[in-house]
Amino acid sequence: MRRRAKRFTAAWAAAALLCAAGLNAQSGVHAASPEVSGEALAHAAESGTRTIVSAVNVRDSLVAQYGSPVIDGEIDPVWDKARIVEARHASGDTRASAAFRALWDDHALYILAEVTDGSLSMESPLPYEQDSVEIFLDENRDKTKEFSVDDLQFRVNFANVQTIDKGDGSRFYTATRLTDDGYIVEARISLKNKPDNGTVSGIELQVNDAEGAGRIGTLNVFDPTGGAWDDTGLFGEIFFTGKKRGDKSGLNPYDLLNLMKRALSIDYSLYKNPGVVKDAILQVAAANLLGSADVTQEQIDEQYAMLAEAIDALEMTEEAANEKYFTPLPVEYLALSDKPGSIERLSYRTANPDGGMDTKYVNVYLPHGYDASDKNTRYNVLYLMHGMGENENLLFGGPGENRSLKKILDNMIANGDIEPLIVVTPTFYGGKGDIAVFHEELLQDIIPLVETKYNTYAKSASLQDLKASRAHRAFGGFSMGSATTWHIFAHCLDYIKYYMPLSGAGWGLAGGGDAAQTAEFLADVVRKSGYKPHDYYIFSAAGTQDFAYPGLHDQIEAMRQLSDVFPYSSDPAKGNLYFIAGEGGTHTWYWQNQFIYNILPDLFKGES
Using CB under 5 A as the criterion, which residues of the chain lie in contact with Ca ion when the complex forms? 69-70, 72, 74, 76, 117, 119, 131, 138, 140, 142, 148, 150-151, 209-210
Of 68 and 148, nearer to Ca ion (C-beta) is 148
Residues 6+ apart with CB under 8 A from 177: 73, 74, 183, 184
* Residue 76 vs 445, nearer CB to Ca ion: 76
Comparing CA positions, the residue from 138, 134, 135 lying closest to residue 199 is 138
How near is the Cβ of 204 to Ca ion at its closest, in Å? 13
Min dist. Cβ of residue 582 to Ca ion (A): 23
Does residue 115 contact residue 244 with C-beta atoms inside 8 Å?
Answer: no
Taking the complex as a whole, the smallest distance from the CB of residue 339 to Ca ion amounts, in Å, to 22
d(CA 502, CA 312): 29
**Backbone conformation region of residue 167, classed left if phi is above 0, alpha if psi is from -120 to 50, else beta:** left
* Residue closer to Ca ion (CB basis): 402 or 518: 402
* Contact (CB, 8 A) for 22 and 301: no
Is the Cβ of residue 75 or residue 523 nearer to Ca ion in the bound state? Answer: 75
Judged by CB, which is closer to Ca ion: 484, or 594?
594
Taking the complex as a whole, how short is the minimal distance between the CB of residue 235 and Ca ion, in angstroms?
A: 9
- Closest contact distance (angstroms) between CB of 137 and Ca ion is 8
Q: How far is the CB of 150 from Ca ion (least distance, A)?
A: 5
Residue 105 vs 445, nearer CB to Ca ion: 105
Nearest approach, Cβ of residue 84 and Ca ion (Å): 16
Q: How far apart are CA 37 and CA 44, in angstroms?
A: 11
Is the CB of 70 or the CB of 300 nearer to Ca ion? 70
Write down the least CB distance from residue 138 to Ca ion, Å: 4
Task: Give the span between the Cα atoms of 102 and 408, in whole angstroms.
Answer: 33
Q: Could you tell me if 481 and 382 are in contact, meaning their C-beta atoms sit under 8 angstroms apart?
A: no
Q: Can you state the angle between helices 254-265 and 2-20, rounded to 10 degrees?
A: 20
Comparing C-alpha atoms, which of 459, 367, 465, 463 is closest to residue 411?
367
Identify which of residues 115 and 522 has a Cβ nearer to Ca ion in the complex.
115
Q: Which is nearer to Ca ion, 51 or 119 (CB)?
A: 119
Pairing mode of beta strands 357-366, 421-425:
antiparallel
In angstroms, what is the C-alpha Rg of the chain? 26
Closest distance of CB 424 from Ca ion, Å: 28
Nearest to 469 by CA among 450, 441, 445, 490: 450
Which lies closer to Ca ion via its Cβ, residue 76 or residue 451? 76
Q: Nearest Cα to 208, choosing from 115, 284, 275?
A: 115
Q: Please, which residues have CB within 8 angstroms of residue 367's CB and are 6 or more apart in sequence?
A: 341, 379, 409, 410, 413, 420, 421, 422
Is beta strand 342-351 parallel, antiparallel or unpaired with respect to 357-366?
A: antiparallel
d(CA 552, CA 309): 36
The Cα 161–Cα 164 span in angstroms is 10
Cα separation, 426 vs 423, whole angstroms:
10
Smallest gap, in angstroms, from Cβ of residue 203 to Ca ion?
11
